[in-house]
C-alpha cells in the first residue's frame, strides 16, 4: 500500500490557508477519483481508493504540529514501510507554485513534517513540498503560513493543486524515482518553472 498524507489543520478558518495546501491536494485527488465518504480513523479522515493499486489517503485532524500521531497510527495498522508514505505539505522556502519531491531529509523548520519524522523515527520519509512563498521581510511566520492565499495567487492556485495531485499520484503509481525525475526537472510539473 502507498499512503499519501496531506498535512493541514481542521476547521473552516484554515481551509484555504498556505498550511492547508496538503489537505487541498488530497481533496483534489479524492474528487478526481470519486472516492466517496471517508472512514474516521487514525485521528483523521482516511480513504482507500478502490480503482487504484493500493493507494490510501489520510488527512490528519490532530492539528498540524501533531500530524505524526495520525500518520503513525496508519503506519502501524497497515505495517507500511516509511518509503511507502508520501507527506504533502507547504514549503515557505520554495516560491509559490514550485514543487519538489524528496526521498528523505530534515523537516526544514516545518512543524508538521517534524512531527511525522519524530513519530516514525526516521528521516527517510518521502515528501512532496509545495511552494507557498516566503513571508515578507519582517513578517511573522505563523501568521504567514496560517494566512490565506493572496489575490495574486488565487488564479494560479487551481493549477498548482492539480499539478501537485498529479505528482502525488505519479509517486504512488510509478515510484519515487520517476516522480522525482518529472517533478524536480527544470521543466517538471511546477506551474512556475
- Active-site residues: which are they? 19
Distances from the Cα of 45 to the Cα of 8, 18, 41, 115, 181, angstroms? 12, 20, 6, 18, 30
Q: By the 8 A CB rule, do 71 and 5 touch?
A: yes
Cell of 186: 527544470
Give residues with Cβ within 8 angstroms of 30, minimum separation 6.
47, 57
* CA 114 – CA 32 distance, rounded (Å): 29
Judged by DSSP in three states, 3 sits in strand
| Phi, psi of 5, rounded to the nearest 5 degrees | -110, 115
Tell me whether strands 44-48 and 55-60 are parallel, antiparallel or unpaired.
Answer: antiparallel
> Are 192 and 110 within 8 A, CB to CB?
no
Residue 80 main-chain phi, psi, to 5 deg: -85, 145
Amino acid at each position: 500500500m502507498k499512503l499519501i498524507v496531506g498535512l493541514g489543520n481542521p476547521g473552516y478558518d484554515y481551509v484555504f490557508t498556505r498550511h492547508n495546501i496538503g489537505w487541498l491536494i488530497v481533496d483534489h485527488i479524492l474528487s478526481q477519483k470519486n472516492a466517496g465518504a471517508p472512514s474516521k480513523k487514525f485521528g483523521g479522515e482516511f480513504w482507500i481508493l478502490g480503482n487504484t493499486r493500493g493507494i490510501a489517503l489520510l488527512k490528519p485532524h490532530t492539528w498540524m504540529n501533531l500530524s505524526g500521531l495520525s500518520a503513525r497510527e496508519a503506519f502501524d495498522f497497515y505495517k507500511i514501510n516509511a518509503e511507502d508514505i508520501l507527506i504533502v505539505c507547504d514549503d515557505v522556502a520554495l516560491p509559490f507554485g514550485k514543487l519538489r519531491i524528496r526521498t528523505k531529509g530534515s523537516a526544514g523548520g516545518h512543524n508538521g513534517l517534524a512531527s511525522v519524522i519524530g513519530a516514525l523515527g526516521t528521516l527517510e520519509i518521502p515528501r512532496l513540498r509545495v511552494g507557498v512563498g516566503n513571508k515578507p521581510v519582517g513578517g511573522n511566520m505563523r501568521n504567514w503560513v496560517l494566512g490565506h492565499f493572496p489575490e495574486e495567487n488565487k488564479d494560479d492556485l487551481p493549477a498548482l493543486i492539480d499539478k501537485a495531485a498529479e505528482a502525488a499520484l505519479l509517486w504512488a503509481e510509478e515510484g519515487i524515482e520517476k516522480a522525482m525525475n518529472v517533478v524536480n526537472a527544470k521543466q517538471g510539473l511546477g506551474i512556475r518553472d
